[in-house]
């Protein structure tokens, strides 16, 4: 049953007379999750019983279809850069800017007024800020964002909530840098620059330029997850029906899913996994607007297929209550928040960054333990130093206040004691310096395992980042990829941990 650290249920999938009880008995030891690699687990914010789920819906991009991000993001960056130069009249020197895939994580916010990019904590206080590709000093940052929590609903800010938004952030920062270096164009504002970049990125997505390049180059653009077909099959064998709900059009979805799911050796086609297909969905509007859908015919299959539509139409088509539907997507607002709020659907968010983020956290575990020990010793040293200074001050005060009544020998004795304390202080200061240098070194090692510009995705020091907070608040479950579901027994009860307030710990 155990293959390495993976629990792979695919071996049971050939049994057409599925017996849920026997499968549970075989595969559901209470502590089985310890055999699943941490970066392949499903994490639980809100209890969810898979036995009560009748339909599971999937987003396509960055959910069923995992992009080769370096390739696709650099492509979007390059194409948008060309639009800026050719259509918006920006200097041709921008064509030399290269895409830095590290500059950009989800949850960042663009300050269109000042040309800055911000990472915030869960209270919307700015924790890290860049102007162009240059970090703002702590003093500068505090001076610019003195008012505390930012009102992100203001038109001044734009938030990058999807992976598709990352090239936009990097392009904005790079262009700010480049234009400031070579001379800022007269009359151009940071806001206008952002509007032009938004236009350019939107255009290459909407006019088909990007798709035309992507569609003939599936193997370069997508990472094929060999476990995905088994995962969809596992859902079906658990008696769950599946639907696709994507903003992409049918032709694109067909091309991508053919590459991701088709299996020529078994003569298996992607649509055989689904009971309903909805394309051109227009999420998040899909969940609270009233667009009609149009049937879409594909003569190769008879799976019900629609273009457009809205949540109510989908709900009556599948005939399930909101809480009997689990929707899996990667967009915190478009897929997760809106579907949960409007429809009552249960949600699972795909956060592919977790795959390496969790590895970094695991690698950092030993360093954190080492850091904790050094911090305790450091605190002890500081306390001893404080005591030495206190005693020395007392002695000095005694000498000054009582010099008339003290003999020369007594005064010499006090000086000798002062000298001993001074020696101790010098020795402790030396130790403290060495400890601080070690702390700095360990902290740099820890930081280096995360994003070099922004640090961890979900944290700001010991607080949650804005993105981490949203992930905890909005998604019932979250995981790094859909196929992680394969690691869990049928009908799994995903149970959240008991929550504690600080006074309960």
Nearer to Mg ion, 229 or 334 (CB): 334
Catalytic residue among 61, 161, 254, 469: 61
Kindly indicate which of the ranges 89-97, 184-192, 219-227, 326-334 contains the residues binding Mg ion, using the contact rule CB under 5 A.
Answer: 326-334
Q: Count of H helices and E strands in the chain? A: 14, 22
Kindly indicate which of the ranges 126-134, 199-207, 328-336, 486-494 contains the residues binding Mg ion, using the contact rule CB under 5 A.
Answer: 328-336
- CA atoms of 462 and 324, how far apart (whole Å): 36
Nearer to Mg ion, 18 or 69 (CB): 69
Distance of closest approach, residue 103 Cβ to Mg ion, in angstroms: 21
- CA atoms of 323 and 368, how far apart (whole Å): 40
Cβ atoms 479, 44 nearer than 8 A: no
- CA atoms of 303 and 277, how far apart (whole Å): 7
Distance of closest approach, residue 335 Cβ to Mg ion, in angstroms: 6
Considering Cα of 9, then 11, then 13, then 16, what sign does the dihedral take? negative
Distance of closest approach, residue 63 Cβ to Mg ion, in angstroms: 5
Kindly indicate which of the ranges 30-38, 55-63, 194-202, 405-413 contains the residues binding Mg ion, using the contact rule CB under 5 A.
Answer: 55-63
- CA atoms of 169 and 167, how far apart (whole Å): 5
Nearer to Mg ion, 62 or 492 (CB): 62
Q: Which residues of 431-468 are buried (b: 16+ CB within 10 A; e: fewer)?
A: ebeebeeeeeebeeebeebbbebbbbbbbbeeebbbbb
Catalytic residue among 19, 59, 288, 415: 59
Residue from 40, 41, 62, 237 in contact with Mg ion (CB under 5 A): 62
* Closest residue to Mg ion, based on beta-carbon distance: 61
Kindly indicate which of the ranges 47-55, 61-69, 95-103, 355-363 contains the residues binding Mg ion, using the contact rule CB under 5 A.
Answer: 61-69
Nearer to Mg ion, 128 or 159 (CB): 159
Query: If binding is defined by CB under 5 A, does position 238 make contact with Mg ion?
Result: no
Query: If binding is defined by CB under 5 A, does position 330 make contact with Mg ion?
Result: yes
Nearer to Mg ion, 173 or 244 (CB): 244
Nearer to Mg ion, 61 or 238 (CB): 61
Q: Please tell me the count of residues contacting Mg ion according to CB under 5 A.
A: 4
- Which residue is listed with tokens 């608040």? 473
Neighbours of 95 (CB within 10 A): 13
- Which residue is listed with tokens 């390495």? 4
- CA atoms of 127 and 105, how far apart (whole Å): 14
Nearer to Mg ion, 71 or 333 (CB): 333
Query: If binding is defined by CB under 5 A, does position 59 make contact with Mg ion?
Result: yes
Distance of closest approach, residue 322 Cβ to Mg ion, in angstroms: 21
Residue from 61, 161, 196, 254 in contact with Mg ion (CB under 5 A): 61
Distance of closest approach, residue 375 Cβ to Mg ion, in angstroms: 41
Query: If binding is defined by CB under 5 A, does position 353 make contact with Mg ion?
Result: no
Strands 241-245 and 134-135: unpaired
19 noted as active-site residue: no
Distance of closest approach, residue 493 Cβ to Mg ion, in angstroms: 27
59 noted as active-site residue: yes
The helix-helix angle for 190-206 and 69-86 (nearest 10°) equals 120
Please provide the distance, in angstroms rounded to a whole number, between the alpha carbons at the two ends of the chain: 38
Query: If binding is defined by CB under 5 A, does position 492 make contact with Mg ion?
Result: no
Distance of closest approach, residue 60 Cβ to Mg ion, in angstroms: 6
- CA atoms of 129 and 324, how far apart (whole Å): 42
Contacts 24+ apart (CB under 8 A), 358-367: 358/38, 358/39, 358/480, 359/39, 360/449, 360/450, 360/456, 361/456, 362/38, 362/39, 363/449, 364/446, 364/449, 367/442, 367/445, 367/446
The helix-helix angle for 408-448 and 354-401 (nearest 10°) equals 170
Question: Using CB atoms within 10 A of its CB, is residue 186 exposed (0-12), middle (13-18) or buried (19+)?
Answer: exposed
Kindly indicate which of the ranges 57-65, 115-123, 256-264, 429-437 contains the residues binding Mg ion, using the contact rule CB under 5 A.
Answer: 57-65
Nearer to Mg ion, 105 or 428 (CB): 105
Distance of closest approach, residue 188 Cβ to Mg ion, in angstroms: 33
Specify the length of the chain in residues. Answer: 505
Kindly indicate which of the ranges 194-202, 275-283, 330-338, 485-493 contains the residues binding Mg ion, using the contact rule CB under 5 A.
Answer: 330-338
Query: If binding is defined by CB under 5 A, does position 481 make contact with Mg ion?
Result: no
Name the site residues for Mg ion (rule: CB under 5 A). Answer: 59, 61-62, 330
Q: Catalytic residue positions?
A: 59, 61
């Amino acid at each position: 049953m155990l293959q390495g650290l993976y629990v792979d249920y695919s071996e049971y999938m050939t049994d057409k007379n599925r017996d849920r009880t026997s499968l549970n008995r075989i595969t559901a030891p209470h502590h089985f999750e310890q055999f699943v690699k941490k970066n392949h687990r499903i994490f639980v914010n809100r209890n969810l019983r898979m036995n009560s789920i009748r339909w599971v819906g999937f987003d396509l991009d960055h959910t069923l279809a995992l992009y080769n991000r370096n390739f696709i993001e650099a492509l979007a960056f390059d194409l948008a850069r060309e639009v800026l130069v050719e259509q918006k009249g920006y200097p041709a020197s921008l064509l030399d800017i290269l895409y830095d895939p590290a500059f950009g994580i989800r949850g960042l916010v663009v300050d269109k007024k000042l040309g800055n990019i911000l990472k915030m904590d869960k209270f919307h206080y700015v924790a890290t800020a860049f102007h162009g590709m240059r970090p703002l000093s702590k003093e500068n940052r505090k001076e610019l964002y003195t008012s505390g929590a930012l009102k992100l609903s203001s038109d001044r800010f734009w938030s990058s909530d999807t992976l598709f938004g990352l090239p936009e952030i990097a392009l904005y920062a790079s262009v700010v840098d480049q234009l400031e270096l070579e001379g800022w164009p007269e009359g151009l504002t940071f806001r206008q620059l952002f509007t032009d970049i938004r236009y350019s990125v939107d255009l290459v997505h909407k006019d088909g330029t990007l798709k035309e390049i992507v569609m003939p180059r599936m193997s370069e653009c997508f990472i094929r997850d060999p476990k995905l077909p088994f995962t969809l099959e596992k859902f079906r064998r658990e008696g769950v029906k599946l639907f696709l709900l994507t903003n992409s059009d049918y032709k694109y979805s067909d091309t991508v899913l053919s590459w991701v799911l088709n299996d020529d050796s078994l003569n298996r086609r992607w649509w055989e996994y689904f009971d309903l297909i909805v394309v051109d969905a227009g999420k998040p509007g899909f969940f609270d607007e009233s667009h009609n859908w149009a049937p879409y015919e594909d003569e190769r299959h008879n799976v019900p297929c629609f273009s457009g539509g809205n949540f109510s139409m989908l709900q009556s088509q599948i005939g399930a209550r909101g809480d009997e539907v689990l929707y899996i997507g990667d967009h915190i607002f478009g897929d997760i928040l809106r579907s949960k709020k409007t429809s009552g659907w249960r949600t699972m968010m795909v956060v592919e960054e977790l795959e390496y983020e969790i590895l970094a956290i695991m690698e950092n575990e030993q360093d954190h333990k080492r850091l904790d020990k050094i911090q305790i010793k450091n605190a002890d040293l500081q306390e001893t130093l404080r005591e030495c200074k206190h005693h020395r001050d007392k002695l000095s005060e005694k000498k000054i206040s009582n010099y008339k009544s003290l003999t020369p020998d007594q005064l010499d004795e006090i000086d000798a004691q002062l000298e001993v304390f001074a020696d101790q202080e010098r020795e402790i200061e030396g130790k403290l310096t060495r400890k601080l240098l070690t702390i700095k070194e360990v902290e740099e090692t820890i930081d280096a395992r995360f994003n070099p510009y922004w640090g961890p995705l979900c944290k700001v020091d010991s607080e949650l980042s804005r993105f981490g907070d949203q992930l905890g608040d909005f998604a019932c479950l979250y995981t790094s990829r859909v196929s992680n579901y394969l690691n869990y027994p049928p009908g799994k009860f995903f149970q959240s941990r008991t929550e504690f307030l600080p006074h309960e710990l």
